[in-house]
Amino acid sequence: MRQTLSKFARSFKVAARKKVATTLAPFLRPIWGGKGCIVMLHRVLPAPTTPRQRFGPEQHYEDSVEHVEKIVHWFFRNGYDPINIDQVEERIKQKNGRRFVVFTVDDGYIDGYQHIRPLFKRLNIPWTFYISTAHINRTVLLDAHLLERRILAGDIPITLELPDSSVSTCYCNSSRECDEFISKVVSFSKQMEWEKYRDWCWEQLGRQNLEDLADQLCCNWDQVREMAHDPNIIIGAHSVTHSPLALVSAPQLGIEVRDSRKIIESKIDMPVDHFAYPYGSVSMRVIEEVKKAGYSTAVTTTCCNLFEQNARHIHALPRISWGANDETTFNTAVSGADSFILFRGQRFTTRGIPD
């Protein structure tokens, strides 16, 4: 009963905050719209012709090609200049001038090559593709994707011995049960060393199954190399294993930050100057490592527009994300209303980031 009341209270609080943000959005946009924003995307796919049932957290990281194009035109109509990530610091420092928007895409899914690239090319939009080398090398653990596919294929019930030695079974009696089961499983990826979690995934989900799925869903190096030589595309680094960097050891952090850059540069024969923190997992220790590695910028997943003070914190740049095809959330995020409420009237720099 107490747990149910707690969930209800959290849901009510989120809904109330969203309502307040929606109301404040038109009034805050002139000031809290800032100098511009960085947009964060993950997967972008053609809109399905018929509604699809979805399970697990990955559905919240998908958007449709049609909706992204609609958003691009919104920025055009509202006088934003589309620029690339390497121009951000200069534009933030300008005293006057039009607002700007930077489009970024994380991870390395095949959507970047098949759908985002032709869309942005047609619209003449520069963009940055942050690559996790695990995605391209087929070592990424697409656990949530695999579990969702098993459920949709009717491969149920699913019983797994979890890393904490407990046993969990999903009978798929409801969407909520499926969502909670997948979320419970993938939560261990943020609690364990990557190699230990990888071994667990291989044992419980099947190494070949995971590699085959990565082969279907991720770019290959030839495609990344081709995109790197497109003048409208910048390739950035997004770690080696796509682990939450604030939780990894010091030696592993060095590998994630430095080796990802070396690997990508060796494959595309071009410099890699920009970094994105996986899951937005960041601490001052991680930021210092990224600085020492020589990256020009780094982006978080904190939802906020850009202001002049962000130029002093160029390795902790916030980004705007609005969820799958959610017009209301997009409007409140770009207006600055979300961040105004979240940070209680303060502008995000590195305040609140742990040591």
pLDDT tens track for 4-49: 545 544 554 555 666 777 788 777 888 889 999 999 999 999 988 7
Q: Centre a 10 Å sphere on the Cβ of residue 37 and count the other Cβ atoms it contains.
A: 25
pTM greater than the 0.85 cutoff? yes
C-alpha 285/C-alpha 355 separation (Å) is: 6
User: What pLDDT was estimated at residue 323?
Assistant: 63
pLDDT averaged over every residue in the chain = 90
User: Smallest Cα–Cα separation from 104: which of 253, 326, 310, 297?
Assistant: 297
Q: CA 17: distance to chain centroid?
A: 22
What value, to the nearest 5°, has the Cα angle with vertex 106 and ends 254 and 199?
55
User: What pLDDT was estimated at residue 6?
Assistant: 53
CATH superfamily entry for domain 2-136+225-342? Glycoside hydrolase/deacetylase (3.20.20.370)
Name the band, by pLDDT with cuts 50, 70 and 90, for residue 333. Answer: confident
Residue 174 is classified by DSSP as S
The region that residue 118 occupies, defined by phi over 0 for left and psi between -120 and 50 for alpha, beta otherwise, is: alpha
**Position of tokens 């979300």?**
338
C-alpha 43/C-alpha 58 separation (Å) is: 9
Residue 146 burial (10 A CB sphere; 0-12, 13-18, 19+):
buried
**Position of tokens 């990256």?**
295
Tell me the per-residue pLDDT of 283-308, one tens digit each, with 9 for 90 and over: 999 999 999 999 999 999 998 999 99
pLDDT, average across residues 258-275: 98
C-alpha 343/C-alpha 351 separation (Å) is: 9
Tell me the per-residue pLDDT of 85-132, one tens digit each, with 9 for 90 and over: 999 999 999 988 899 999 999 999 999 999 999 999 999 999 999 999
